[in-house]
C-alpha cells in the first residue's frame, strides 16, 4: 500500500508542468453575493465583505456583478448572467453568508428562505453546483470560487445528517475552490468590519506578484495563526497554468512572481510549517542558505512513530519525553513552548499524552467501541494512524455497536514552480457519531509541508501529525461532561 501511495504522489509531481502557462488572458468577470439580513439569524459582516471584495476586484480589472441580501431567484438570474459572460475570460464567484450541506451537496441560503426541514433545502436554497455548471459550460481557461459560507448555520438544527459547515468539493479542470475553513467545519462571522478570512484574503489579493495559489496559501497561514488554529481555510485546485490578481502586467511569469529574496520567502513558509520534511526541503533548495544551520538542527528532530497497538500510555509518554528538548529550567507548560512542542512529532506525542492524562472520562466512553468509516485518498494510511491513537486511549477500534468515526481525508501533491520544491498536504474533517445517530464530537484540520525529494516520508509525517490532533479533539469532546 505504501508503494502504491508513493507511486501516486510521484506521478502527480511528475505530471506538474515545469513552466506553467499564463491564464491571465481576456476579460475578467466576477459575481459577488453578500447575504446578511436573515430573519432568524442575521449576520454582521457578509455585506461589508462582499462590498470590499467587489471594490477590490474592480480595481483589479474585473467587471463585477454584485448582489446584496438576494432571494433564490435573484441568485439564479445573476448566475445565468454571469455564465453568459464567462467565455474566453477569467471567472470569479464570491459568496459570503449562510451555507449548508445536505447529503454531500452544498447550498447557499437566500435571505428569503424559510427552511424548517432538511428535505426542503434543495428547493428553497441555491445549489453551488449551478455556478460550477455555468463555469464548465463556458469552457473558459480559469475559474475561481470563494465560499465564505461556513458560519454556524441554524438551518441544520435537527437535521438527520447532523452535518455542519460545507461539504468537500473537487475543483473541475481549470478551477480553484477556496473555503473560509475546512470542509465540515465552521468559521466565525468576525468581530471587525470584515470577517477574519476575507480581511486576509483582500490583503493578499492586492499584493503584487502573487500567484493565485499563493494568495490562498498566505491567507490560510494568516487565518490559522490569527485564530490559534481554530479556523483553517482549505482549497481544492486543478489549475493548469498561472494567474495573478495584480503585478503581472506585460511581465513574464517568473519575473513578476519572483520575490526579492527567495531564500527569506521559503524560510518564512518552512518555519511556519515546523515540519522536519520542510526543513529538509529548504536544505535541498538552499544548501548554503543563510538559515541552513538552523534548518539542519530542525531537520534532525527525531520522528516519534505512533504507538503500536497494545503499547501502554505511560510507556509511550516516556518515549515522547525522551525526544523533546527541555528548557534549562525543566519542561515548561507555557503557551509559547507548548506551541513549539506541537510542531514536532515528539512534541505532539507528549501533548497527546497530557490530554489523555488530564481527562476525567467515564469508563464507558474511554473504552468505547469505535468503527472507522472514512472516505480517504492515499491508501488508508490515515485510518491506520487514527486507529492506533484511539486504541492508545483505551478504545476498542473496529468493533460494531458503539460509535462511528466518519468523514473525509484528502491528500495532494504538487510542485512549487518558483521555489522548485515539492509540496504535500493532508486535509481531514471528521465526526464521531453515536449509536443513535447523533454527532457527539467533530474534528478538522489541515497539515502541509514542503517535501523536497522526500515525498513519501513527508506525507506519512503529515498523516501521523494530523491523526494525533484529530484523535485528541475527538476524545476530548467525547469525554466532556454532558
Distance (Å, rounded) from C-alpha 80 to C-alpha 134? 7
The pLDDT value recorded for residue 233 is 84
179 pLDDT band, cuts 50/70/90, is: confident
Task: Measure Cα distances from 273 to 216, 236, 292, 451 in Å.
Answer: 15, 19, 16, 11
Distance (Å, rounded) from C-alpha 63 to C-alpha 402? 54
The pLDDT value recorded for residue 407 is 86
Q: Taking 50 as the threshold, does the pLDDT of residue 3 lie above it?
A: no
Q: Taking 60 as the threshold, does the pLDDT of residue 251 lie above it?
A: no
Q: Average pLDDT in the 114-141 region?
A: 85
Q: Taking 60 as the threshold, does the pLDDT of residue 469 lie above it?
A: yes
The pLDDT value recorded for residue 150 is 59
326 pLDDT band, cuts 50/70/90, is: very low
Q: Average pLDDT in the 67-85 region?
A: 95
The pLDDT value recorded for residue 252 is 41
Chain centre distance of CA 249: 31
Per-residue pLDDT tens digits for 42-52: 888 899 999 99
Q: Is 222 helix (H, G, I), strand (E, B) or coil?
A: helix
Q: Where does residue 336 rank: exposed (0-12), middle (13-18), buried (19+ CB within 10 A)?
A: exposed
Q: Is 479 helix (H, G, I), strand (E, B) or coil?
A: helix
| Spatial CA neighbour of 175 closest among 206, 210, 135 | 135
The single residue listed with the C-alpha cell 459550460 is: 137
362 pLDDT band, cuts 50/70/90, is: confident
The pLDDT value recorded for residue 85 is 93
Tell me the residue length of the chain: 482
Distance (Å, rounded) from C-alpha 323 to C-alpha 349? 10
Q: Taking 80 as the threshold, does the pLDDT of residue 89 lie above it?
A: yes
Residue 297: count of CB within 10 angstroms of its CB: 10
Q: What is the DSSP string of 344-406?
A: SHHHHHHHHHHHHHH----HHHHT-EEEEEEEESSTTHHHHHHHHHHHHTT-EET-SSSEEEE
Q: Which long-range contacts (CB under 8 A, 24 or more apart) does 121-124 make?
A: 121/155, 124/72
Task: Measure Cα distances from 476 to 187, 358, 426 in Å.
Answer: 20, 10, 22
Q: Average pLDDT in the 362-390 region?
A: 87
Higher-pLDDT residue of 103, 185: 103
- 373 - beta bridge partners? 406
- The share of the chain scoring above pLDDT 70, in percent, equals 73
Phi then psi for 147, rounded to 5 degrees? -120, 100
Distance (Å, rounded) from C-alpha 432 to C-alpha 434? 7
Interaxial angle between packed helices 212-226 and 196-205, expressed in degrees from 0 to 180 and rounded to the nearest 10: 140
31 pLDDT band, cuts 50/70/90, is: very high
Phi then psi for 143, rounded to 5 degrees? -135, 140
339 pLDDT band, cuts 50/70/90, is: very low
Higher-pLDDT residue of 103, 168: 103
Q: Taking 50 as the threshold, does the pLDDT of residue 285 lie above it?
A: yes
Distance (Å, rounded) from C-alpha 53 to C-alpha 68? 13
227-231, 425-429, 439-443: least confidently modelled range: 227-231
Contacts of 310 (CB under 8 A, 6+ apart): 391
Contact assessment for residue 396 and residue 367, using Cβ atoms and an 8 Å cutoff: yes
DSSP for residue 62: -
Higher-pLDDT residue of 119, 16: 119
Q: Taking 80 as the threshold, does the pLDDT of residue 34 lie above it?
A: yes
Which range, 56-65, 145-154, 281-290, 461-470, has the best average confidence (pLDDT)? 56-65
Q: Taking 70 as the threshold, does the pLDDT of residue 319 lie above it?
A: no
Per-residue pLDDT tens digits for 151-173: 555 554 444 444 455 666 666 77
Cα atoms found within 13 Å of the Cα of residue 378, Cβ hemisphere only: 27
The single residue listed with the C-alpha cell 458560519 is: 151
Contacts of 402 (CB under 8 A, 6+ apart): 368, 369, 370, 371, 396, 435
Helix (H) or strand (E) holding 65: strand 63-68
Chain centre distance of CA 309: 30
Contact assessment for residue 417 and residue 258, using Cβ atoms and an 8 Å cutoff: no
Q: Average pLDDT in the 104-118 region?
A: 81
The pLDDT value recorded for residue 332 is 33
Helix (H) or strand (E) holding 372: strand 369-376
The pLDDT value recorded for residue 60 is 93
Contacts of 414 (CB under 8 A, 6+ apart): 12, 13, 16, 422, 423
And the C-alpha cell for 243?
Answer: 494567474
Residue 52: count of CB within 10 angstroms of its CB: 21
Residue 362: count of CB within 10 angstroms of its CB: 12
Q: Taking 70 as the threshold, does the pLDDT of residue 248 lie above it?
A: no
The pLDDT value recorded for residue 15 is 41
403-416: strand order across its sheet: 396-397, 369-376, 403-416, 421-433, 439-450
- The share of the chain scoring above pLDDT 90, in percent, equals 22
Higher-pLDDT residue of 41, 15: 41
Per-residue pLDDT tens digits for 450-468: 888 888 888 888 888 888 8
Amino acid at each position: 500500500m505504501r508503494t502504491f501511495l508513493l507511486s501516486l504522489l510521484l506521478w502527480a509531481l511528475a505530471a506538474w508542468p515545469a513552466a506553467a502557462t499564463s491564464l491571465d488572458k481576456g476579460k475578467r468577470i466576477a459575481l459577488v453575493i453578500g447575504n446578511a439580513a436573515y430573519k432568524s439569524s442575521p449576520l454582521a459582516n457578509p455585506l461589508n465583505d462582499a462590498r470590499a471584495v467587489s471594490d477590490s476586484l474592480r480595481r483589479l480589472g474585473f467587471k463585477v456583478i454584485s448582489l446584496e441580501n438576494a432571494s433564490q431567484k435573484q441568485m439564479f438570474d445573476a448566475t445565468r448572467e454571469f455564465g453568459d459572460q464567462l467565455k474566453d475570460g477569467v471567472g470569479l464567484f464570491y459568496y459570503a453568508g449562510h451555507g449548508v450541506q445536505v447529503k454531500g451537496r452544498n447550498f447557499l441560503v437566500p435571505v428569503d428562505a424559510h427552511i424548517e426541514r432538511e428535505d426542503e433545502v434543495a428547493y428553497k436554497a441555491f445549489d453551488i453546483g449551478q455556478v460550477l455548471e455555468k463555469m464548465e459550460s463556458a469552457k473558459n481557461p480559469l475559474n475561481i470560487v470563494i465560499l465564505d459560507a461556513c458560519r454556524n448555520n441554524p438551518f441544520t438544527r435537527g437535521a438527520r445528517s447532523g452535518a455542519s459547515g460545507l461539504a468537500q468539493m473537487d475543483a473541475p479542470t481549470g478551477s480553484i475552490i477556496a473555503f473560509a475553513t475546512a470542509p465540515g467545519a465552521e468559521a466565525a462571522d468576525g468581530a471587525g468590519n470584515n470577517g477574519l478570512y476575507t480581511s486576509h484574503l483582500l490583503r493578499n489579493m492586492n499584493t503584487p506578484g502573487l500567484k493565485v495559489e499563493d494568495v490562498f496559501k498566505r491567507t490560510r497561514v494568516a487565518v490559522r495563526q490569527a485564530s490559534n488554529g481554530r479556523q483553517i481555510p482549505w482549497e481544492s485546485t486543478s489549475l493548469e497554468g498561472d494567474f495573478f490578481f495584480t503585478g503581472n502586467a506585460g511581465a513574464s511569469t517568473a519575473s513578476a512572481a519572483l520575490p526579492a529574496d527567495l531564500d527569506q520567502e521559503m524560510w518564512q513558509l518552512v518555519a511556519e510549517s515546523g515540519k522536519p520534511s520542510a526543513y529538509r526541503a529548504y536544505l535541498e533548495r538552499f544548501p548554503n542558505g543563510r538559515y541552513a544551520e538552523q534548518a539542519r538542527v530542525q531537520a534532525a528532530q527525531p520522528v516519534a512513530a505512533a504507538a503500536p497497538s497494545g503499547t501502554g500510555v505511560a510507556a509511550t509518554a516516556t518515549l515522547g519525553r525522551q525526544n523533546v528538548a527541555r528548557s534549562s529550567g525543566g519542561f515548561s507548560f507555557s503557551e509559547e513552548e507548548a506551541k513549539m512542542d506541537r510542531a514536532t512529532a515528539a512534541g505532539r506525542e507528549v501533548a497527546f499524552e497530557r490530554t489523555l492524562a488530564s481527562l476525567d472520562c467515564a469508563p464507558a466512553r474511554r473504552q468505547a467501541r469505535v468503527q472507522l468509516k472514512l472516505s480517504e485518498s492515499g491508501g488508508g494510511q490515515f485510518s491506520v494512524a487514527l486507529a492506533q491513537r484511539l486504541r492508545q486511549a483505551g478504545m476498542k477500534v473496529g468493533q460494531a455497536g458503539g460509535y462511528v468515526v466518519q468523514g473525509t481525508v484528502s491528500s495532494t501533491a504538487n510542485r512549487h514552480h518558483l521555489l522548485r520544491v515539492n509540496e504535500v498536504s493532508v486535509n481531514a474533517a471528521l465526526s464521531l457519531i453515536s449509536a443513535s445517530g447523533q454527532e457527539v464530537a467533530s474534528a478538522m484540520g489541515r497539515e502541509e509541508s514542503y517535501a523536497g525529494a522526500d515525498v513519501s516520508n513527508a506525507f506519512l509525517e503529515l498523516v501521523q501529525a494530523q491523526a494525533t490532533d484529530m484523535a485528541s479533539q475527538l476524545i476530548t469532546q467525547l469525554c466532556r461532561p454532558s
